Structure 1
Amino acid sequence: MAGTVKIFDTTLRDGTQGEGVSLSVEDKLKIAQKLDALGVSYIEGGWPGSNNKDIEFFMRVKELKLSHAKITAFGSTRRKETLAENDPNLNRILEVGVQAAAIFGKSWDFQVHTAIQTTLEENLAMIYDSVRFLKKNGLEVIYDAEHFFDGYKSNPEYALATIKKAEEAGADWIALCDTNGGTLPHEISAIVTKVTSLISCPIGIHAHNDCELGVANSLAAVMAGARQVQGTINGYGERCGNANLVSVVPNLQLKLKYDVISAEQLASLSTVARYVSEIANMHMPVNQPYVGSAAFAHKGGIHVSAILRDSSTYEHIKPELVGNKQRVLVSELAGQSNLVFKTQELGLDFDTNNQQTKQLIEQIKEMEHQGYQFEGADATLELLIRDAYGKLDEVFTLDSFKIMVAKSADQPVLSEAIVKVNVHGKTIYNAAEGNGPVNALDNALRKCLVEYYPDINNMHLSDYKVRVLDEKDTTAAKVRVLIESTDFNSTWSTVGVSENIIEASWHALVDSIRYALLGMTRVADKPEESRERLGLVNH
């Protein structure tokens, strides 16, 4: 190994400054448990001096049995011309009872004069007094040197003087911050190299992603001597976000051979990334490196033919190392190799002379002609293959459904769906409302199935897309509906095509539920378990 690197996660603090990201206290507690299991060394929970929600988090997080991470409070240096012991923000950090504190101070002379409007000498005193105060009260202190790289390029002597003051005061870590995110990797490397030659205190890096270099800058800093990386899950954060730890960690561990987290923890990376995106209600890009659903997806027939021989022909790592999986997309660009891969993945015997195989190929071709596209609907494709080979148990069949939409002058549009299905030979009839016809259908269908499959409450639809296939037909055009679903552990996509958008949506919705049920055990198969233990709820 090249050495040990500590991960400082600030998803719960800096990550929540990103547009559209809002976490409740319950959300933050759930994420904290996931981060601890992932093996991060520090979890920055928030700024107790800024709002009551963060104070509540710090009080309640003590009830969690965290095994690895240190809960860290964020704050600033003392106010100008005051005593550290009288500063309310510093005292609030002590009151919440954390093990560690990350406090930021100014490293850029321009910021000292413009932002906090004080002298360079007073700023140095603010840094020293604040770090010293927290250290005297028994905390581990990470000093975040805000705007350090901009400050160094403007006035290197003063920027260095600020972190030397933090070191003199006893800081355990000094994190160099590229706060505006405008520094390039070669600059990061040169400056960190200089700092590590002058400072004995261990160095960290806090990079922002405004030039899409957050990950690159973090790696450059580590290779230059930094031993702590600050960042967020999925790169959440203000403006363009922070360094994405989901990319930083595997790059450090798998590519650069640093000791970061265990192999078992690394294998949970994809699950953690998806879990956090769901809790934050932020859509995770399919092409996100390492953990995205398309990160190891192959479409071209030549590529697939090659990975059948050796996956390293078109994959830089084994996807299982980060908890992801290889996917093969079937489309008009795909060759026979794609279907070979998919059937082998399911443990089926793909033989082109087999009548089942011939019928399957013809069915896929005909469906593509009708407007289906399977490259983004892996779950629908798997259901087709299983059905063709007689390996699909039809859990339910549709008898009928009805949808009603009502609108009054002063009320929003209300949708209600009535669904009648046959489940294991029994007719089930249920109705439900929704914020749209598809949502109402989804809710009604779930109510029909939940008594048999209570785990269905753990999955939900995470994305819904409609594509008009032939615009010249205007409102009579055929449409393709793509639905993405998730259960916190995995994500899958299904497709439906029809001239009627509700029917297309129904087909995609049904496939989504059918795919989810493949991995669920019905209550009848668990007679020894009570309804209460299974969490059965009739809505």
Structure 2
Amino acid sequence: MADNRRIEIYDTTLRDGTQALGVSLSLIDKLRIVEHLDTLGVDYIEGGYPLSNPKDTAFFEQAGKTDFKHAKVCAFGMTRRRGADPADDAGMKALVGAHAPVITIVGKTWDLHVDQVLRVDRDENLAMIRESVTFCRENSETGDVFYDAEHFFDGLAANAQYALSTLTAAVEGGACRVILCDTNGGSMPGWITEAVGRVQSHLGGEVTLGIHTHNDSGLATANSLAGIKAGCAQVQGTINGIGERCGNADLTTIIANLRLKLGYDCLQNGTSGGGLRNLTETSRFVYEVANMNLVAGQPFVGTAAFAHKGGMHVHAVQRVTRSYEHVEPESVGNARQVLISELSGASNIAATLGEKFNIGDDKDLQRAVLQRVQNLENQGYQFEDARASFELLLHELRGDRPEFWQLDHYRCVILKRHGEKAATEAIVRMSVDSQDRHEVSAGDGPVNALDGALRKCLLPAYPQLANVHLRDYKVRVVNAKAESAAKVRVTVQFAVLNQAGGAGGHFTTIGVNENIVDASWQAITDAFGYYLIEEPQASS
């Protein structure tokens, strides 16, 4: 049954997310992500800990000059030190000095941490919570203070009386939100539901509750939704679930479920779907800025979330989309994909290229394409993620693939001296636009050197290729049993720059050969050929 309660979205990508393995965000990165989160319509954005590093201090200075449409920025920090007056505590002063609209304070809830980690008297811990909240409430810009009850669910299980007393201390200090945290990520949904109910009974509805979960048991989304169903009105998490260890709750999945499945009102730009339609773009932007690979199977926003491979499935979706899709991909800003592989049927070919190439009624060509795909995949090719190579294949079968150049030869030379870095040089000779081109380029390895020499040959005739840049390069052994003589499959993704110099899309090509350099050459030249077909006019 739908519940139209308003649920606050609190994003902690800029702090908790940066604790993920391999993730580091610059000040500019953080500010760019904040802009996208604000456009998405989240309520709160946790910017970081002002005392921890100069970057976070600078972030709050810049955020204070930003005119946000929806979101409020939160400064995060810990309770005061033991025995200290909050007014003399460096952490407290940094939180207040950040001039953020909201201050979020984290405190110890589990007696294990109080006794053995913090090693402070339990009553002193309660005073630290109460006095820290009071100080921030009385000295901050708005008086809005959130309290994060760290390890709450473990603490409640170990010593319910003490865990609940820490929440009471926060409320007595004036916290306007109390966030229940499954910090170790080990709780089950049933325990989350029971625990939230006990907190409601204990606090008597004095304060708004929130839920903050981690994914160590693979249940962060389920636990977040359980907390909301039990009465929490705020959910915390990160975009794409990035975070320490196994990650945080993934806000992209939670938001989509709240809006589309459970009927809750969330995202500040209304219930019309405007904000929700930015979900996929926001997810991919964060992956890009964080220098992380997309997760194809990520619910709602992944590249494979609405991808169909089996011919029978494709045929069904063409007739009734909900036959194999639980929501419309457009509702979250994603798009349906029809994959091409040896499992494809004519429906896949028609659905994938029928409109662009006008082959919907050409059954003979569809069969020829399927036969060619099956033969090539038997040799190690995979066209599921290499749409550009597949389109070139169709051009070949139709006999209308342009020949932009004729290769005479290429050669790669690698010179390695003892104790020195290997030096690589590529030489390419080809005919381009009836002109003989002979170019040499050094590079960081044969692929980079070949790419450089090839560009030198082609750019005078096709300057638009300056807009295409190698974005990703992957190699996989196809037949490992052949050992050093095995075939390799090279997949390259190229990004296209738009007029403003930003990302304007991307495409992928593939090459297969026993020689990794030749496979790379095939993938790169196919990419350039594909782009010249798509963008025949020089634009730079």
- TM-score, normalised relative to structure 2: 0.88
Q: Which residue of 1 aligns with 2:467?
A: 456
Contact 1:271 1:489 in 2 (8 A): no
Q: Which residue of 2 aligns with 1:405?
A: 414
Q: Which residue of 1 aligns with 2:107?
A: 105
> How far apart, in 2, do the equivalents of 1:518 and 1:465 lie?
26
Q: Which of the residues 256, 259, 265 maps onto 1:253?
A: 259
Q: Which of the residues 320, 335, 343 maps onto 1:333?
A: 343
Q: Which residue of 1 aligns with 2:73?
A: 71
Q: Which residue of 1 aligns with 2:190?
A: 186
**Aligned residues between the structures:** 522
In the TM superposition, what is the alpha-carbon distance from 1:165 to its structure 2 partner?
A: 1.7
Q: Which of the residues 33, 46, 50 maps onto 1:44?
A: 46
> How far apart, in 2, do the equivalents of 1:446 and 1:65 lie?
43
Q: Which of the residues 285, 289, 292 maps onto 1:282?
A: 292
In the TM superposition, what is the alpha-carbon distance from 1:141 to its structure 2 partner?
A: 1.4
Q: Which residue of 2 aligns with 1:469?
A: 479
Q: Which moved more, 1:35-44 or 1:52-61?
A: 52-61
The DSSP-based 3-state class of the residue aligned with 1:163 is helix
Q: Which moved more, 1:275-284 or 1:437-446?
A: 437-446
**Cα shift readout 1:117-162 (whole Å, capped 9, x = no counterpart):** 1122111111111111111123421111111111111122221111
Q: Which residue of 2 aligns with 1:312?
A: 322
> How far apart, in 2, do the equivalents of 1:15 and 1:396 lie?
47
Aligned CA distance change for structure 1 residues 379 and 142 (closer, same or farther; 3 Å): farther
> How far apart, in 1, do the equivalents of 2:180 and 2:426 lie?
56
Contact 2:359 2:366 in 1 (8 A): no
> How far apart, in 2, do the equivalents of 1:234 and 1:478 lie?
35
Q: Does the alignment pair 1:346 with 2:361?
A: no
- 1:350-429 residue pairs with structure 2 within 5 A? 350-354=360-364, 356-385=365-394, 388=397, 400-419=409-428
Contact 2:465 2:528 in 1 (8 A): no
The DSSP-based 3-state class of the residue aligned with 1:115 is helix
Q: Which of the residues 307, 310, 317 maps onto 1:300?
A: 310
Q: Does the alignment pair 1:509 with 2:524?
A: yes
> How far apart, in 1, do the equivalents of 2:75 and 2:285 lie?
23
Q: Which moved more, 1:92-101 or 1:226-235?
A: 92-101
Contact 1:112 1:120 in 2 (8 A): yes
Contact 1:401 1:419 in 2 (8 A): yes
- 1:133-144 residue pairs with structure 2 within 5 A? 133-137=135-139, 138-139=141-142, 140-144=144-148
In the TM superposition, what is the alpha-carbon distance from 1:520 to its structure 2 partner?
A: 5.4
Runs of 5+ in structure 1 lacking a partner? 525-535
Q: Which moved more, 1:415-424 or 1:207-216?
A: 415-424
Contact 2:80 2:89 in 1 (8 A): yes
Aligned CA distance change for structure 1 residues 454 and 333 (closer, same or farther; 3 Å): closer
Contact 2:477 2:486 in 1 (8 A): no
**Cα shift readout 1:422-453 (whole Å, capped 9, x = no counterpart):** 77777777654443222333455556549833
Aligned CA distance change for structure 1 residues 471 and 142 (closer, same or farther; 3 Å): same
Q: Which moved more, 1:52-61 or 1:344-353?
A: 344-353
Q: Which moved more, 1:404-413 or 1:498-507?
A: 404-413
Contact 2:475 2:488 in 1 (8 A): no
Letter in 1 for 2:513: S
- 1:69-218 residue pairs with structure 2 within 5 A? 69-137=71-139, 138-139=141-142, 140-197=144-201, 198=203, 199-218=205-224
Contact 2:12 2:45 in 1 (8 A): yes
Letter in 1 for 2:188: L
> How far apart, in 1, do the equivalents of 2:47 and 2:349 lie?
47
Letter in 1 for 2:526: D
- TM-score, normalised relative to structure 1: 0.88
In the TM superposition, what is the alpha-carbon distance from 1:80 to its structure 2 partner?
A: 0.9
The DSSP-based 3-state class of the residue aligned with 1:101 is strand
- 1:489-508 residue pairs with structure 2 within 5 A? 492-508=507-523
In the TM superposition, what is the alpha-carbon distance from 1:498 to its structure 2 partner?
A: 1.9
Aligned CA distance change for structure 1 residues 384 and 91 (closer, same or farther; 3 Å): same
Aligned CA distance change for structure 1 residues 100 and 189 (closer, same or farther; 3 Å): same
Letter in 2 for 1:20: G
Aligned CA distance change for structure 1 residues 431 and 196 (closer, same or farther; 3 Å): farther
**Cα shift readout 1:184-222 (whole Å, capped 9, x = no counterpart):** 111111111222343421111110110011111111111
**Cα shift readout 1:304-335 (whole Å, capped 9, x = no counterpart):** 22112112111111112222221122222222
> How far apart, in 1, do the equivalents of 2:495 and 2:197 lie?
44
Aligned CA distance change for structure 1 residues 404 and 307 (closer, same or farther; 3 Å): same
Aligned CA distance change for structure 1 residues 516 and 150 (closer, same or farther; 3 Å): farther
The DSSP-based 3-state class of the residue aligned with 1:289 is coil
In the TM superposition, what is the alpha-carbon distance from 1:514 to its structure 2 partner?
A: 4.7
Aligned CA distance change for structure 1 residues 492 and 85 (closer, same or farther; 3 Å): same
Runs of 5+ in structure 2 lacking a partner? 497-502
Letter in 1 for 2:391: E
Letter in 2 for 1:268: N
Q: Which residue of 1 aligns with 2:499?
A: none
In the TM superposition, what is the alpha-carbon distance from 1:351 to its structure 2 partner?
A: 2.6
Q: CA RMSD in A?
A: 2.8
> How far apart, in 2, do the equivalents of 1:324 and 1:425 lie?
44
> How far apart, in 2, do the equivalents of 1:149 and 1:83 lie?
29
Q: Which residue of 1 aligns with 2:27?
A: 25
Aligned CA distance change for structure 1 residues 272 and 332 (closer, same or farther; 3 Å): same
Aligned CA distance change for structure 1 residues 10 and 500 (closer, same or farther; 3 Å): same
Q: Which moved more, 1:263-272 or 1:339-348?
A: 339-348
Q: Does the alignment pair 1:441 with 2:447?
A: no
Identity %: 44
**Cα shift readout 1:158-180 (whole Å, capped 9, x = no counterpart):** 21111122122221211111011
Q: Which residue of 1 aligns with 2:14?
A: 12
> How far apart, in 2, do the equivalents of 1:236 and 1:320 lie?
24
Q: Which residue of 2 aligns with 1:226?
A: 232
Letter in 2 for 1:374: F
